[in-house]
Structure 1
Amino acid sequence: MDTRFLDSFVAVAEEGSIAAAARRLHLTPAALSQRIQTLEAELGATLLLRAGRTVAPSEAGLAILDRARALLREARDLRALATAGALAGELRLGAIATAMTGLLPAMLARLATRYPQLETHISPGISADLYRRIQLGELDAALIVQPEFAPPKSCEWRLLREEPLVVLAPEAMAGAEPHALLSAEPFIRYDRNQWGGRLADRYLRAARLAPRERFELDALDAIAVMVGRGLGVSLVPDWAPPWPAGPAITRIPLPRPFPPRRIGLMWMRGGTRARLVRAFLEGAEPEA
């Protein structure tokens, strides 16, 4: 069985259309459709159901989808093992939103320069979900907030950045006393379902502050925009730039020390891709 045909099936199943999958694989829609037909004939089953421009896996397609992904990963790993002296294969990374824009681009640029044969698939998400996917083996590593609990010994953790909490306020309030702002102004809360949001909530409790809540959401960029529009103030980690362009905001340090939000890489010890994870970590620091 040609793994390119399996790759075509997985791409269509994930993209939901022949046209989108063809763009992803740099094929014409006709060539992609021919690959799918050949695979269906070889397996003796219809794998995809078409409804207008959308495509979804059939019952038979769903039955083989996860196994097809696993076979494709194994094929990439075999290529990596067979490539003497070079690093190749597929690395499956996850990243929270602020790491996706603030930490990941520079690391990926150095990775691509050093190991051009390495393929990297990136999944966005929140820390709790990405941590779960690492445990399930769906991701090789992820840039996440350090968990509030002790991960199992099967996990590795590398701290990459510490982000102290700051009060986010409209620029006109620069220099104001932060606790006074948190007490008097409408409050835009960083979602307590997020590990970073729970850190902010613990600070408010420790400082005995009871803000006048207006909104609660999990998107830090959106919080910054809302603050810039004068909708309130917030308590957030001082995340890695870039920050949203346009909002006239100020970041005010807190008057008392408090543990920062810690961002780092988590992965499982050992495994066939541990070498790839170590190569990715090389990109955490630029070459001297």
Structure 2
Amino acid sequence: MDTRFLESFIAIVDGGSIAEAARQLNLTPAAVAQRIQALEDEIGAPLLLRAGRRVAPTAAGVAVAARARRLVRDVAELRIAAGRGTPAGELRVGAISTALTGILPDGLKRMMQAFPAIEVYVVPGRSVDIYRQMLDGELDVCVMVQPPFRYPKPFCWSELRAEPLIVLAPEATEGEDPLDLLRTQPLIRYDRRYWGGRLIDGYLRAQAVVPRDRLELDSLEAIAVMVDRGLGVALVPDWAPPWPAGLALRRLALPPPVPVRRIGLFWMRSSPRLALVEAFRSMMEV
């Protein structure tokens, strides 16, 4: 069985149409349709339901898709192994939002120059979500917040950046004591579903600060904009730039000891794509 036919089938399932799969694979729709017909003939069952331009997998197609993904991945790993130490293939990278803008771009630029045969597929998400995807084998490496618990021994962690908590206040806000501002001003809170948000909530409790919650948002950039507009103050990690442009903010340091959100790489030490992960690490840890 030609694995290119399986790759075409997976592209259709993911894209929802033959046209979208053809675009991704740089083929004509007719060529993709021919591959699917050959695959259905070889398997002996229809794999797709066609409704106009949209398609969806049949029951047989759903069963085949899961196995096809594993088979295509295994073949890619065989190609990596046959590369005699030359990193090549697909690397699936999970990344939190602030890493997508402040950490990942420069590292990816260096990597694509040094290892042009590595194809990087980036999956954005919360640390808690991409962590689970790592455990399920859906990702090869993550740029995320350090887990606030002991992770399984087969996995590794390497810190890239330490981000102390700071208080953000509108430029016109009076007062220099950051804890006093947290007690007296409305709080634009970082979402407690995020590990960083839980770190902040724990600090507020430890300092016996009962905030006047006004909003709870899952975007640090949006929180900064809300503070700039005078809607309240915020307690956030001092995340990697760029920050939103044109904001008039005061960034106030907390009295020590200051909690720190740690951003780093998380991967499995026995990953079949370890050569690719190590190449990625070497470019991110510069």
TM-score normalised according to structure 1 size:
0.92
Structure 2 unaligned segments of length 5 or more: list them. Answer: none
Structure 1 residues 56-79: Cα deviation after superposition (integer angstroms, max 9, x where no partner): 222111111121111111111111
| Partner secondary structure for residue 172 of structure 2 | helix
C-alpha separation in 1, matches of 2:98 and 2:82 = 36
Task: After TM superposition, give the deviation of residue 174 of structure 1 in Å.
Answer: 8.0
Are 1:66 and 2:62 an aligned pair?
Answer: no
- The residue aligned with 1:253 is 253
- The verdict on how the C-alpha distance between 1:99 and 1:27 changes in structure 2, with shifts beyond 3 A counting, is same
- The verdict on how the C-alpha distance between 1:268 and 1:174 changes in structure 2, with shifts beyond 3 A counting, is farther
C-alpha separation in 2, matches of 1:176 and 1:51 = 64
- The residue aligned with 1:130 is 130
AA aligned opposite 2:157: W
CA contact (8 A) 1:174 1:252 kept: no
- The residue aligned with 2:80 is 80
Superposition pairs for residues 146-157 of structure 1, below 5 Å?
Answer: 146-157=146-157
- The verdict on how the C-alpha distance between 1:116 and 1:209 changes in structure 2, with shifts beyond 3 A counting, is same
Percent sequence identity over aligned pairs: 59
Are 1:284 and 2:284 an aligned pair?
Answer: yes
Are 1:196 and 2:200 an aligned pair?
Answer: no
Count the aligned residue pairs: 286
- The residue aligned with 1:39 is 39
Task: After TM superposition, give the deviation of residue 146 of structure 1 in Å.
Answer: 0.6
- The residue aligned with 1:114 is 114
- The verdict on how the C-alpha distance between 1:231 and 1:27 changes in structure 2, with shifts beyond 3 A counting, is farther
Structure 1 unaligned segments of length 5 or more: list them. Answer: none
C-alpha separation in 1, matches of 2:87 and 2:121 = 16
C-alpha separation in 1, matches of 2:31 and 2:65 = 21
- The verdict on how the C-alpha distance between 1:46 and 1:249 changes in structure 2, with shifts beyond 3 A counting, is farther
| Partner secondary structure for residue 282 of structure 1 | helix
- The residue aligned with 2:227 is 227
- The residue aligned with 2:10 is 10
CA contact (8 A) 1:168 1:227 kept: yes
Task: After TM superposition, give the deviation of residue 99 of structure 1 in Å.
Answer: 1.0
The two structures, once aligned, show a CA RMSD in angstroms of 1.8
| Partner secondary structure for residue 213 of structure 2 | strand
CA contact (8 A) 1:175 1:252 kept: no
Structure 1 residues 28-52: Cα deviation after superposition (integer angstroms, max 9, x where no partner): 3333233222222222222222334
202-211 vs 39-48, greater mean Cα deviation: 39-48
| Partner secondary structure for residue 242 of structure 1 | coil
C-alpha separation in 1, matches of 2:109 and 2:53 = 36
- The verdict on how the C-alpha distance between 1:55 and 1:223 changes in structure 2, with shifts beyond 3 A counting, is farther
- The residue aligned with 1:187 is 187
Runs of 4+ in 1 over 4 A off after TM superposition: none
Task: After TM superposition, give the deviation of residue 104 of structure 1 in Å.
Answer: 1.1
Are 1:99 and 2:99 an aligned pair?
Answer: yes
AA aligned opposite 1:281: R
Task: After TM superposition, give the deviation of residue 175 of structure 1 in Å.
Answer: 6.8
